[in-house]
Structure 1
Amino acid sequence: MSVKLFLIRHGQSLWNLENRFTGWKDIDLSEKGVQEATEAGKELRGEQIDIAFTSTLIRAQHTLDLVLQNSGETGIPVVINKALNERSYGDLEGLNKADTAAQYGEAQVHIWRRSFSTRPPGGESLEDTYNRVIPYFMHTILPHMEAAENVLIVAHGNSLRALVMFIDNLTQDEILQREIATGFPLTYIFNRASIDALRARFGSSTLA
């Protein structure tokens, strides 16, 4: 058995373009984001996709629509769940990142953005995001892969970083160095042994 998991971060959003903290704010794609999503779909043309998962936020859903249209995989089941939403930036959402650094200091903003367990005011840490993404992946998404279905997930920079951290078994320091580009498909290929390894790792963690 061999199955594929495709991960795509949404295309550039209007607030990505404006260098603002977005988080759970429901902001759509920029023109560049539409182009990125379209190109991502073209890259997946010829791949079989059996089911897709996305977040409740419009920038991810719009990206998914464009990916499916341009990959030729329209008509497949689509599951929308808030577990795949971006990390919440709480009180920082809507603020310009440079202005925020000027107000609180670059070091403090860097900690809020890049530490694994420190939460921004009123928001989530990457650890919090990990703790909602991974159980959802294991309980809801992985069974489709175990049933030999190829899966597409269109989500967000931090929700996908959490998933990549788990799949690649990265340390907290390693995931802080990992960037997920907008509109660029990442492809993982799993066999039964590698899926069983994920099950075993999840079963031995405190998240199970």
Structure 2
Amino acid sequence: MDRILVLVRHGQSEWNLKNLFTGWKDPGLTEKGIAEAKAAGERLKRKGLKFDIAYTSVLTRAQHTLDLMLAELGQTGLKTVKDQALNERDYGDLTGLNKDDARKKWGEEQVLVWRRSYDVPPPGGESLKDTLARALPYYMTHIQPDVLSGKSVLVAAHGNSLRSLIMAIEGLTPAEILKRELETGVPVFYRLKADSRPEKIEILNG
């Protein structure tokens, strides 16, 4: 039985391009982001993948990325579930600020702690640990059972919500996940064992 899970961070957004903290705000994809999403779909097609169900967040950039990938796959009518549990980390008071301006306001060291620590949230926002606390139960209740039943599942979401899932799937420590970067529009392919641990992991970046 194939138990296939593919995680894809959305293509470049308008706020990624402007170096802004985005969080739960809802900018669209740039032209580059659209191209990245189409390229992701093409890579999945070349791998011969077809999906039984897709999951995404309630944010436009993830949904648009998913739509573009499914169009490349010829699966535009695929059942898709949207849930805010898969939303990006909420950056609180940093949301909408240029990252360089934030460093000037709070200092480089403090902003680095907010961005790269596991459990220290920015003011009014979420840490990666907080993001995990909402994304992982959703994964365990909805996504993982689909995969373990033999379905091929595609998830289009965000850097931090996906990193929290990767931490759980791969059994990474907080220190290990903080070093893990997810490129926009690059699929991460998993074949899972019956016990939910990965049998194969592949980064589809070419």
Place the TM-score, normalised by the shorter chain, in its bin.
over 0.9
Matched residue, 1:18 = 18
Separation in structure 2 between the aligned mates of residue 178 and residue 187 of structure 1, nearest angstrom:
15
Query: What is the letter of the counterpart of residue 13 of structure 2?
Result: S
Which of the numbers 69, 73, 93 marks the counterpart of 1:91?
A: 93
For structure 1, which runs of at least 5 residues remain unmatched after alignment?
199-208
Q: Following superposition of structure 1 onto structure 2, how do residues 149-164 of structure 1 map, counting pairs within 5 Å?
A: 149-164=151-166
Separation in structure 2 between the aligned mates of residue 2 and residue 148 of structure 1, nearest angstrom:
6
Matched, 1:8 2:2: no
Separation in structure 2 between the aligned mates of residue 112 and residue 191 of structure 1, nearest angstrom:
35
> Secondary structure in 2 aligned to 1:44?
helix
Report the CA distance between 1:24 and its aligned residue.
Answer: 0.2
Matched residue, 2:67 = 65
TM normalised by structure 2 equals 0.93
Matched residue, 1:120 = 122
Instruction: Answer whether contact 1:52 1:76 (CA < 8 A) is retained.
Output: yes
Separation in structure 1 between the aligned mates of residue 50 and residue 146 of structure 2, nearest angstrom:
14
> Secondary structure in 1 aligned to 2:154?
strand
Report the CA distance between 1:191 and its aligned residue.
Answer: 2.5
Instruction: Answer whether contact 2:3 2:149 (CA < 8 A) is retained.
Output: no
Separation in structure 2 between the aligned mates of residue 173 and residue 69 of structure 1, nearest angstrom:
37
Q: Following superposition of structure 1 onto structure 2, how do residues 68-83 of structure 1 map, counting pairs within 5 Å?
A: 68-83=70-85
Query: What is the letter of the counterpart of residue 119 of structure 1?
Result: P
RMSD of aligned Cα (Å)? 1.1
For structure 2, which runs of at least 5 residues remain unmatched after alignment?
199-206
Query: What is the letter of the counterpart of residue 31 of structure 1?
Result: E
Instruction: Answer whether contact 1:12 1:32 (CA < 8 A) is retained.
Output: yes
Deviations 1:31-86 (A, max 9, x none): 11000001001111120111000000000000000010012222110000000000
- Structure 1 segments (4+ residues) deviating >4 Å: none
> Secondary structure in 1 aligned to 2:192?
strand
Separation in structure 2 between the aligned mates of residue 107 and residue 138 of structure 1, nearest angstrom:
35
Instruction: Answer whether contact 1:43 1:71 (CA < 8 A) is retained.
Output: no
Matched residue, 1:177 = 179
Instruction: Answer whether contact 2:163 2:177 (CA < 8 A) is retained.
Output: yes
Deviations 1:79-129 (A, max 9, x none): 000000000001110000011111111100000000000010100000000
Report the CA distance between 1:145 and its aligned residue.
Answer: 1.2
Report the CA distance between 1:180 and its aligned residue.
Answer: 0.5
> Secondary structure in 1 aligned to 2:3?
strand
Identity value in percent? 55
Matched residue, 2:201 = none
> Secondary structure in 2 aligned to 1:192?
coil
Query: What is the letter of the counterpart of residue 95 of structure 1?
Result: L
Instruction: Answer whether contact 1:2 1:192 (CA < 8 A) is retained.
Output: no
Query: What is the letter of the counterpart of residue 152 of structure 2?
Result: N
Query: What is the letter of the counterpart of residue 9 of structure 2?
Result: R
Separation in structure 2 between the aligned mates of residue 44 and residue 149 of structure 1, nearest angstrom:
16
> Secondary structure in 2 aligned to 1:2?
coil
Query: What is the letter of the counterpart of residue 16 of structure 2?
Result: N
> Secondary structure in 2 aligned to 1:143?
helix
Matched residue, 1:201 = none
Matched residue, 1:55 = 57
